[in-house]
Amino acid sequence: MKPIPTSLIAAAAGLIAAVLWLSPGVARAAAVVISNRTKAPIDFIAAQHDRPASQHRLEAGDLKPIQVRGNLRLAFMSAGEKRQYELPPNSIYFFATDKTGKLDLHGIGISSAAKPPPYTKPKPKPDAATAKKLAAVGKITVKIFVDEDEAAPQRIWEARLRKRIDKVSDILEKHCRMRLEVVAVGKWKSDDRINEFPRSLREFEQEVSPGKAQVAIGFTSQYQLTKGRTNLGGTRGLLHTHVLIREWSRQIVEPERMEVLLHEVGHLLGAVHSPEGNSVMRPVLGDRLSRAVGFRVMFDPINTLAMHAVGEEIRLRDARGFSQLSLDTRLLLRDIYKLLGAALPKDPAAPRYLHLLQQASMPPLAKATRFVHAQIVRAAETNHRAGAARLSGDALTDYYVRRAATAAIRLPKKYAADAFLLSLGTALEESNVLRGSPNLGPFCKLIESDVQRGRRLAALGSPTMRSRRDLARHFVVSAALTVSLGHRGAEMAGVVKELVDSRGGSGFSFADLTADLAGIELATQLRAGKIDLKQLAEKFTVGDYLPAIENLPEGLSAAKFAERYGSTTDKRFTAETDKIRRSIAKLPAYRQAAKQPDGS
C-alpha cells in the first residue's frame, strides 16, 4: 500500500472541508468517509443529532462512507481510553496507530492538529420522496457492445461481461451506492486499421449509440503488439455516454480486466487518478497487483467522497454531467481535483476534470465572453511579437475592437453583443476597477485567472482613445458596466467615480465623463440593434465613437467643482453633460444609429 504523503494530508487542511463547511447550501445528503489504515479490525460508534447511534466494524484496509446531514459524532476505544470526535460533512478521516501503538483518527483534508469544527444543527429532515431517493441504491443503465473480433459466441461473452459488471457494481455500491444495470447488448464493426486508442474511442462514439441506456460500454478484441504503456480503457468525462475497454491483451487476466472496467466507471462517476498505490484509481493498471492473494480492489478515500457526492446527485436530480451538479458538489469536486492534481503534478487526469468542471460550471454568457476575451489576448500577443510593425495608441484600440467584434459575430446572437462589451472591459483595462467591483468582480475572475491576467498585461501594450490611455479605460469599463448595471446605472457609476476623484484624486474630469458616456452609448445602441457587430468588425475607428475632448474641464477639486457646477443636480452641471451628449450624438456612428429602428 502506498499512502498519500503526509505533506499532502497536511496541505489539504482547509481545502475540502473548510470550503464546503462554510458553504450555505451543504447538500442534503453529504458523507463522511472513514478508512482503516491499521492491520486489525476497528469497532467504532457513529451518531448524529437526530438519529440513534450505530455500531460499525471496519476491517483492516477497508473504508466506509457514512451518509450525514450534519456533524457526525464518532467514538472508539484506544488503549482502554474512549476517544470522541465531531466530524463535519464531506470530510475524510483514517484510523492509524502512533509510535506507541495507540489508535487515533487523522484527517485527509483536515490537519490532525486542527481544532474540531463547531457543532451545527443538521440540515432539515428531507421530505418522504427525497428520503426515499437518498436511501435507494442508484443505477446507471448500460448497453454492452463487443466488436467483430470477439471470438466467443454471444452466450459466452455476454455471461462473462455481465458477471464482470456485477462485480464492478458490488464495489461501486459499497463506495457510492450506485450500480450498473445491463439493459441491452450488441455488436459493432471496428476498423482494423485504427491502432491508436483515442481514435478507437472516437470511432466507437461515432458508430455506436447507447439507445435507451445511459452509457454504451464497448469491449474491443482487436489484437496488436505494443511496447511500453498502453491505454487499457477510456472515457471522456463525468457521466459520458461511452466507455471503451481493450479486451485483447493476452497478459491481462480476469481480475485485472475487472479492475480496468472499475477504473473507467470510476472516471464516469467523477473519480480521477490517485497516488494511493492500492487504489483502483492509481494511474497505471495491469501491474499484477490484483492477482495477489488477499488483494482487495477498492477506491481510495478521496475518490470515494467524490463518487458518493456524484451518486447523490444522480439519485436526487438525475444529473447527467458536470453542468447539472449542484453548486456544493461542484465546489467539492473542484477542491478534490486540485488536491489530487497537486499530488500527481505530471498526471493529466485531475487537471482535465478540473477544466471540464470549470467549463461546465460557467454560465453561457461567461463562456461567450471568455471566447471573445481569448481572441483579444491572442491579438495582443500577435501584435507584441510584431517588432517594428507593432501597433500602438488609437490604432491599437481600433485593432482590438475589430478583432473582438469579429470573434463575437461567431457567437449565438443571444450572447454576442454582451460578450463583446464585457470582453472589451476585461481585456483592455489594466486596473482592478472591474475585478474589484461587487457586480462584475466574480464574473471577471471566471473569465481570467490572476496568472492569465499577468500574461495579458505583458502583451497588451497601450491602447488609447484620442491618444489617451485613461479615456480608453473609461470607455471600455463603462461599456461593460452597461451590461451589468444598465444605461442609468453605468452612467451613475461614472459620475460617482469622478466625484471620488475630486476628493483627493486626479480631480473631476469631464473628458473622462465623455469617454464614460460614449462607451455607454455604444453599448446601448449595440444592445438595441442599432449598431451591429459587423459594422464594428469592418470599420471601427476611435474618432467615430468618441468626440474630441479639447477644452473640457479637468482636474477639478471638490471645492472647485462645487464653485463652478454646484452639484450633479445643478443646471450648470446638466448643461455641461447635455453638451457632451450632443457632441456624442453628432459622431458618424451614432448619427447612423439614430436612423435605425430598435432591434434592427
What is the value of pTM for the model shown?
0.63
Range 64-84 average pLDDT: 92
Beta bridge mates, 97: 103
**Residue ranges of domains in the chain, CATH in brackets:** 6-108 (2.60.40.2890), 136-359 (3.40.390.10), 364-594 (no CATH)
What is residue 76's predicted lDDT score, i.e. its pLDDT? Answer: 95
Q: Residue 70 corresponds to which cell in the numbers above?
A: 450534519
pLDDT over 90 at 441, yes or no:
no
- Phi-psi group of 303: left, alpha or beta (phi > 0 → left; psi -120 to 50 → alpha; rest → beta): alpha
Mean pLDDT of the chain: 87
Burial class (CB in 10 A: 0-12, 13-18, 19+), 474: buried
Rounded CA-CA distance 233/267 in Å is 11
What is residue 134's predicted lDDT score, i.e. its pLDDT? Answer: 77
pLDDT over 80 at 195, yes or no:
no
Identify which has the larger pLDDT, 256 or 289: 256
Instruction: Break the chain down into helix, strand, coil percent, rounded to 5.
Output: 50, 15, 35
What is residue 27's predicted lDDT score, i.e. its pLDDT? Answer: 39
Range 396-411 average pLDDT: 97
Q: Is 423 helix (H, G, I), strand (E, B) or coil?
A: helix
Annotate 507-561 with three-state secondary structure: CECHHHHHHHHHHHHHHHHHHCCCCCHHHHHHHCCHHHCCCCCCCCCCCECHHHH
Q: How many CB atoms lie within 10 A of CB 434?
A: 22
Confidence of residue 29 (pLDDT cuts 50, 70, 90): low
Confidence of residue 216 (pLDDT cuts 50, 70, 90): very high
pLDDT over 80 at 204, yes or no:
yes
pLDDT over 80 at 233, yes or no:
yes
Range 556-584 average pLDDT: 95
513-515-520 Cα angle (round to 5): 95
- pLDDT tens digits, one per residue of 454-470: 999 999 999 999 999 99
Confidence of residue 599 (pLDDT cuts 50, 70, 90): low
Range 535-544 average pLDDT: 96
Rounded CA-CA distance 386/388 in Å is 6
pLDDT over 50 at 7, yes or no:
no
**353 in Cβ contact with 422 (< 8 Å):** no
pLDDT over 50 at 405, yes or no:
yes
pLDDT over 80 at 121, yes or no:
no
- pLDDT tens digits, one per residue of 295-312: 889 999 999 999 999 999
Confidence of residue 109 (pLDDT cuts 50, 70, 90): low
Range 537-544 average pLDDT: 96
pLDDT over 90 at 582, yes or no:
yes
pLDDT over 70 at 229, yes or no:
no
Q: Is 53 helix (H, G, I), strand (E, B) or coil?
A: strand
Confidence of residue 193 (pLDDT cuts 50, 70, 90): confident
Q: Which percentage of the chain shows pLDDT scores above 90? A: 65
- pLDDT tens digits, one per residue of 123-162: 667 778 877 877 889 999 999 999 998 889 999 999 999 9
Highest mean pLDDT among 63-67, 147-151, 322-326: 63-67
- pLDDT tens digits, one per residue of 481-533: 999 999 999 999 999 999 999 998 899 999 999 999 999 999 999 999 999 99
What is residue 593's predicted lDDT score, i.e. its pLDDT? Answer: 67
Q: Residue 544 corresponds to which cell in the numbers above?
A: 467615430
What residue spans of 217-363 are helical by DSSP H? 254-268, 301-317, 327-343, 349-361
Confidence of residue 112 (pLDDT cuts 50, 70, 90): very low
Range 81-107 average pLDDT: 91
Euclidean distance between the first and the last CA atom of the chain, given in angstroms as a whole number: 67
What is residue 227's predicted lDDT score, i.e. its pLDDT? Answer: 53
Confidence of residue 224 (pLDDT cuts 50, 70, 90): low
What is residue 250's predicted lDDT score, i.e. its pLDDT? Answer: 64
What is residue 594's predicted lDDT score, i.e. its pLDDT? Answer: 67
Identify which has the larger pLDDT, 471 or 113: 471
Annotate 19-45 with three-state secondary structure: HHHHCCCCCCCEEEEEEECCCCCEEEE
What is residue 42's predicted lDDT score, i.e. its pLDDT? Answer: 96
What is residue 23's predicted lDDT score, i.e. its pLDDT? Answer: 35
pLDDT over 70 at 10, yes or no:
no
pLDDT over 70 at 238, yes or no:
yes
**313 in Cβ contact with 325 (< 8 Å):** yes
pLDDT over 60 at 228, yes or no:
no
Contacts of 298 (CB under 8 A, 6+ apart): 61, 62, 63, 171, 175, 278, 279, 280
**376 in Cβ contact with 404 (< 8 Å):** yes
What residue spans of 177-240 are helical by DSSP H? 197-207
